[in-house]
Amino acid sequence: MPKIVLVSGSIRRESANTAVIATIRRLIEQRDEQYEITELSLRDFPFFDEDLESAGGTPELLAAHAEVASADALIISSPAYNGYPSGVLKNALDWLSRPAGADRSPLEGLPAAVVSASPGQAGGENVQPHVRQILTNCGAKVIDSEQVAVGNALELRTPEGVITEPAVVSALAGLVDAVTGHIGAAVPQEAAA
Ligand SMILES: Cc1cc2nc3c(=O)[nH]c(=O)nc-3n(C[C@H](O)[C@H](O)[C@H](O)COP(=O)(O)O)c2cc1C
């Protein structure tokens, strides 16, 4: 079963980006095809430290690496902090850019899509080129899809922690289509037959 790893770039409880990720999870679960879905917690990534890396990392880090290594695609929802991704997101991507005992980074060659959310009208769209650039620098294959930036996201977040506003759900469904389409396109001919 194809596997999609989801990451919210915010660790706070009532995060708009976590609501976007929860909405994306629902959309994937509602599809006819079945996907394994894993959400990474950025709390599992200590401050990047080459000493800790040399000492073998932590069990949580190794588990996160294994999740990403076995994924067919990655979807990140990023907040904008002064126009750039959160420190916790950049930190996690730095860890994931390393092999962690394998022969290469789990991000290398991994299809990845980016969305952003913020309480502002622009939805933090200016952060997205930076996240895509980091992913590209880490060897991921950024999926070419229409940009989705969820504005007024805290107002749109329901008490259940999802977003139900139809235009946003439809835009996120388009992103999910692009990701699942990419996974489908990546299936070798003999496996698809
Ligand atoms: C240090 C800091 C810088 C911020 N910079 C931006 C920004 O550049 N653009 C923006 O749209 N929102 C900015 N915000 C507002 C965040 O988008 C807002 O806190 C958002 O809710 C964070 O995402 P979350 O809800 O997923 O935690 C900033 C917030 C903080 C704390």
Number of folded domains in the chain?
Answer: 1
CB 65 within 8 A of CB 77: no
Check pocket membership of 119 for ligand 1, CB cut-off 6 A.
yes
DSSP type of residue 81:
B
- CATH no. for residue 28? 3.40.50.360
pTM greater than the 0.85 cutoff = yes
**Span 119-157, pLDDT tens digits:** 999 999 999 999 999 999 999 999 999 999 999 999 999
What pLDDT shows up at residue 126? Answer: 97
pLDDT surpasses 90 at 184: no
* Phi-psi map region of 49: left, alpha, beta (phi>0 left; psi -120 to 50 alpha): beta
Determine the pLDDT at residue 120. 97
Q: Is 151 in the pocket of ligand 1 (CB under 6 A)?
A: no
Pair of tokens at residue 131? 């996240």
Q: Is the pLDDT of residue 185 over 80?
A: no
What pLDDT is stored for residue 187 in this prediction?
58
Quote the ligand 1 centre to 173 CA distance (angstroms).
24
Spatial contact of 6 and 155, defined as CB atoms under 8 Å apart: no
β-sheet bridge partners, residue 107: none
Given a cut of 70, is residue 193 above it in pLDDT? no
What distance in Å separates the CA atoms of residue 51 and residue 54, rounded to the nearest whole number? 5
**Range(s) of the domain holding residue 152:** 3-192
127 and 94 Cβ atoms separated by less than 8 Å: no
Q: Which residue has the higher pLDDT, 190 or 176?
A: 176
Ligand 1 site, residue 79, Cβ cutoff 6 A: yes
Report the percent of the chain where pLDDT is more than 70.
96
- Structure-token pair, residue 91: 């930190």
Torsion over CA: 73, 77, 20, 18 (sign): positive
pLDDT at 156: 97
